[in-house]
Amino acid sequence: MRPLKVAVLGCGSVGSQVVRLLLEQAGDLAARVGAPIELAGVAVRRLDAPRDVDVPPDLLTTDAQGLVARDDVDVVVEVIGGIEPARGLILSALENGASVVTANKALLAEDGATLFEAAEKAGRDLYYEAAVAGAIPILRPLRESLAGDRVTKVMGIVNGTTNYILDKMDTQGSGFDEALAEAQELGYAEADPTADVEGFDAAAKAAILASLAFHSRVTASDVHREGISEVTAADVASAQAMGSVVKLLAIAELRSVAGGDDAVSARVHPVMIPRSHPLASVREAFNAVFVESEAAGQLMFYGRGAGGSPTASAVLGDLVTVARNVVAGTKGAGESAYADRAMLPMGETITRYHVSLDVADKAGVLAAVATAFADHGVSIQTVRQEGRDADAQLVVVSHEATDAQLAATVEALRGMDIVRDVTSVMRVEGELA
Amino acid sequence: MRPLKVAVLGCGSVGSQVVRLLLEQAGDLAARVGAPIELAGVAVRRLDAPRDVDVPPDLLTTDAQGLVARDDVDVVVEVIGGIEPARGLILSALENGASVVTANKALLAEDGATLFEAAEKAGRDLYYEAAVAGAIPILRPLRESLAGDRVTKVMGIVNGTTNYILDKMDTQGSGFDEALAEAQELGYAEADPTADVEGFDAAAKAAILASLAFHSRVTASDVHREGISEVTAADVASAQAMGSVVKLLAIAELRSVAGGDDAVSARVHPVMIPRSHPLASVREAFNAVFVESEAAGQLMFYGRGAGGSPTASAVLGDLVTVARNVVAGTKGAGESAYADRAMLPMGETITRYHVSLDVADKAGVLAAVATAFADHGVSIQTVRQEGRDADAQLVVVSHEATDAQLAATVEALRGMDIVRDVTSVMRVEGELA
């Protein structure tokens, strides 16, 4: 069998590890693919930039477009990230007859449709396991292992930075700013942490997970997004008092709609989950994705969600699959969007709230608060009254209601004289103690 | 596209759920595969046996051999279990041009080579995700997602019965017999529990995991096997005192061998693992598989390891993949055994022991015990001395040594006058507190 030629676009923390693994494991990869894998070239911005890995200098090029246009390239690995030039290069590669492996969550979540259609038209593979949860095999299980089942919910800790920050707030009692500063110092958060802490990164991954789980096209703009910058030490303390923990979750859920087909709710926001939930014990910058499906029940996938070497593992796994397909003269299953489900607006999504209130210590406070919930059609699961006098606190956990009903209830509570302050509002998943 | 015809062999707890999902999800399956999936027939032992699912009566047959010999069957699903007639039927199916999906761990672990060679010769697929850890996607991640990485260790809780029993011993302080009786009452253990509690089931799965992880042929007879019937309440209490828990693990590990290629250690035995280890929190009858690889680092896969419906989910996932391949006129990657690694005998495998001793309360006891370890070339990590007089206890955790050295040390301890009893011997994985 002739050697397969691989072009790598980008040689940052992921790209350099992809190159390293390709070179170090050449023998094993050849045996697993059924043909040698050769590096055709590595496109970089600057030839003389410092790199983690020694790339043979004659393979480096600044002409990415020229590299993907070469007619001897079988597979293009895109690990540049961002929208352009990545999109243009991937489209050129596919048009030119190469299969593509990418880790580009932002591009897939914004404009996956264009890429999938180009791959379909070209009869080539487009694989992207590394785009969600780094090293953790989660897209392939959704695409293939669960293809005979009906997935109903996916909940993931898919952003290591925010999990690190929330974990520190939980274990050290620190506030958001302090935990963020620590994360930045240790390299878990970037100097401009917006993409992580405001949930943009997780929202892109939620869109990709929702698309695969529900066989529909879901983009980042379909995902309701709230970050963690407003999570306070008081929220975390409230969670601890409930035997729970605050996590930033990417949630993709199938929900029945009266008189219609099931619709998809895709959202990213902080959530209180009980400590007994498998996701609660995901510490530090680790990632995990929890899946519920009709026949399989509950599954969880856990591992490293970022980092050059873990992400490169996922890229290489895809590369072996794509290369095997090239050798066999075939391609894998393409996009599956046949179900074409509608999106459920956040306001219509069914959630549960945990609300902590500073209240006046007067007779009738509990009745008044309960009435505010009832007026919005929200029933209460538990109420806990704590402290007396100036410290009187009410902690309410609601039953399920639409998010709009719950948000309106909180608005009404804020306007009540007897409510001095709404100290914590947090959505809840799972059964709190 | 013409409909694909599927024959199901066996209609027990798994087979009946496979049939149910095939019938209930026909529309989704057709959309995902690209062709309708039709049930060609269901082979059963008795036509009039009671079943969980209404199978159309005209599809039932007692002639399994006739069913697999039909020339319109594209895929055969084997969920009978056991060696024969399953093996003969699978071989007939492959020879006859059908692809095969099976959940048959015993057959794969005893004689996988015959099946893989028959599939290769026929140019057909043989998929078996359901054979290990039920609904949990673990074989596909090993075969594909990690195909560009170097897996170094796989540790799995792959038998729900034994995990249930050990969990009850841990949480309720019950003895083995009592916990087994409870498991039997609740249907988690069979009337004859030998296959589960003596580790035969886990050993078959260990062989399959080791084969895939290390690209070598490993059979059940290559797997060192110890069950849990000799795990005592004292062992479990010892584990608790060390902040750890006893689990029955299937372990497949790559170990360097002086002057040679890395060899494979495959084994099933009870292990003490620290409660902080991700596998420690796997409760009740759940399964989980922990994987370490060079680039990806630590991964864990968690879910239901048994039961008709979860196992059927895994079968259906394979069925969709195999059916897509039939539609595309191709097949997936076959067996990968190129590495052909040698097996490491148990005695040469590097392990660590936890040993609890009832000792005479005399000066010099610790020195004598330490000398016994040193005489066998085993160094001690920690010693704890507890109690006085008749209750004097020594708890020793060793550093790594060969299993033969450690076993010889325990033998020597048993022969010492000052050692009244060796109350607990257990291998250790991970760092105990």
Q: How many CB atoms lie within 10 A of CB B186?
A: 11
Residues 6+ apart with CB under 8 A from B367: none
Reported ipTM: the value is 0.95
For residues A253 and A259, the model is more confident at A253
Answer whether B329 touches A (CB < 8 Å): yes
Contacts of A29 in chain B (CB under 8 A): 148
**Interface with chain A: mutation pick from B129, B149, B279, highest number of A CBs within 10 Å:** B149
Q: Which two tokens stand for residue B275?
A: 């409660």
Contact A146/B137, CB-based, under 8 Å?
yes
pLDDT at B132: 97
Contacts of A303 in chain B (CB under 8 A): 296-300
pLDDT at B12: 94
Q: Is the predicted pLDDT of residue B402 greater than 90, yes or no?
A: yes
pLDDT at A196: 97
pLDDT at A433: 58
Contact A150/B302, CB-based, under 8 Å?
no
pLDDT at A125: 98
Q: Is the predicted pLDDT of residue B123 greater than 70, yes or no?
A: yes
Give per-residue pLDDT as tens, A280-325: 999 999 999 999 999 999 999 999 999 999 999 999 999 999 999 9
Q: Closest Cα partner for B378 from B396, B405, B357?
A: B405
When pLDDT is averaged across residues A20-40 and rounded to a whole number, the result is 97
When pLDDT is averaged across residues A206-222 and rounded to a whole number, the result is 98
Contact A147/B317, CB-based, under 8 Å?
yes
Contact B135/A339, CB-based, under 8 Å?
no
Q: Quick one: what percent of chain B has pLDDT higher than 70? A: 99
pLDDT at B392: 84
Contact B149/A328, CB-based, under 8 Å?
no
Of B31, B144, B278, the CB nearest to A317: B144
Residues 90-119 of chain A with CB under 8 A from chain B are none
Of A129, A148, A300, the CB nearest to B320: A148
**Per-residue confidence band for A361, with pLDDT thresholds at 50, 70 and 90:** confident
**Interface with chain B: mutation pick from A8, A19, A149, highest number of B CBs within 10 Å:** A149
When pLDDT is averaged across residues A404-417 and rounded to a whole number, the result is 97
Q: Is the predicted pLDDT of residue A88 greater than 70, yes or no?
A: yes
Residues 6+ apart with CB under 8 A from A50: none
Answer whether A44 touches B (CB < 8 Å): no
pLDDT at B361: 80
pLDDT at B433: 58
Give per-residue pLDDT as tens, A195-206: 999 999 999 999
| Residue A231 parent element (H or E) | none
When pLDDT is averaged across residues B288-308 and rounded to a whole number, the result is 96
Residues 130-149 of chain A with CB under 8 A from chain B are 135-137, 140-141, 144-149
Answer whether B297 touches A (CB < 8 Å): yes
When pLDDT is averaged across residues A57-78 and rounded to a whole number, the result is 97
Q: Is the predicted pLDDT of residue A26 greater than 80, yes or no?
A: yes
CA distances from A158 to A201, A250, A394 (A): 8, 7, 33
Give per-residue pLDDT as tens, A385-407: 887 766 788 999 999 999 999 99
Q: Closest Cα partner for A79 from A58, A57, A53, A97?
A: A53
pLDDT at A385: 86
Q: Which of B205, B247, B331, B362 is catalytic?
A: B205
Reduced to 3 states (helix: H, G, I; strand: E, B; else coil), residue A424 is strand
Strand partners, A21: none
Contact B129/A149, CB-based, under 8 Å?
no
Contacts of A330 in chain B (CB under 8 A): 328-330
**Active-site annotation holds for A205:** yes
Of B302, B310, B333, the CB nearest to A278: B302
CB of A124 closer than 8 Å to CB of A68: no
Q: Give the angle subtended at the CA of B299 by the CAs of B113 and B214, to the nearest 5°.
A: 25
pLDDT at B94: 98
pLDDT at B431: 80
pLDDT at A259: 85
When pLDDT is averaged across residues A108-137 and rounded to a whole number, the result is 97
pLDDT at A386: 81
Give me chain A's average pLDDT, please: 95
Of B144, B147, B319, the CB nearest to A148: B319
pLDDT at B258: 84
Distance separating alpha carbons of residues A244 and A263, to the nearest angstrom:
29
Structural domains of chain A in order of their starting residue, each with its CATH number: 4-134+308-328 (3.40.50.720), 139-304 (3.30.360.10), 346-428 (3.30.70.260)
